[in-house]
Amino acid sequence: MNLLVLAAEKENPLVPPWPELVIGLIAFVIVFGFLAKKLLPNINKVLEERREAIEGGIEKAEAAQTEAQSVLEQYKAQLAEARHEAARLRQEAQEQGATLIAEMRAEGQRQREEIVAAGHAQIEADRKAAASALRQDVGKLATDLAGKLVGESLEDHARQSRVIDRFLDDLEEKAEAAR
């Protein structure tokens, strides 16, 4: 216990002596004052700049987002307009195609009618040529046959043509009447 008594007689090690306490307190106030005057404004300035940068960044981000939204709306409007224009062009192309098809059909019909008319005209010309050739051949054969039957030559061409034409005309009339 002696040790305890000795310790009790000495000062408490946790409580410093008064002069040291006053000097420590004055040093603390000087250091705190220096830090408050010099360092604290710089810290506040950096914190304020940081706050402004963050707020500015947020404002810039909001502005960029607003701008992006408006650009998106413009793109959507342009896309809708382009789709509308494409639909209009497609409709015009379909109408032009239908018109072109109708024109081509009409032209084809006209050409077909021309070909048919030309064919009929050619057939009629061929028929007339065949009838004329047939008339001549039948006339020549009839004259030759009549000459052989009569026993003399019937070479008078003018009279022969009249007789043959009259005979063939009578045959055609009879054929027409029979129909």
Does the reported pTM lie above 0.75?
no
Instruction: For the chain, 179 residues long, give each residue's pLDDT as a single digit of tens.
Output: 455 555 455 667 777 788 888 999 999 999 999 988 988 898 899 999 999 888 888 888 888 899 999 999 999 999 999 999 999 999 999 999 999 999 999 999 999 999 999 999 999 898 888 878 877 777 777 777 766 766 555 566 666 667 777 777 887 888 788 87
Q: What is the pLDDT of residue 9?
A: 56
The first and second tokens of residue 148, run together, are 């052989």
3-state secondary structure the chain: CHHHHHHHHCCCCCCCCHHHHHHHHHHHHHHHHHHHHHHHHHHHHHHHHHHHHHHHHHHHHHHHHHHHHHHHHHHHHHHHHHHHHHHHHHHHHHHHHHHHHHHHHHHHHHHHHHHHHHHHHHHHHHHHHHHHHHHHHHHHHHHHHHHHHHCCCCCCHHHHHHHHHHHHHHHHHHHHHHC
- Tell me how far apart the alpha carbons of residues 151 and 58 are, in angstroms, rounded to a whole number: 134
For 54-81, how does the pLDDT look when each residue is reduced to its tens digit (9 = 90+)?
888 888 888 889 999 999 999 999 999 9
User: Do 137 and 164 meet the contact criterion of CB atoms below 8 Å apart?
Assistant: no
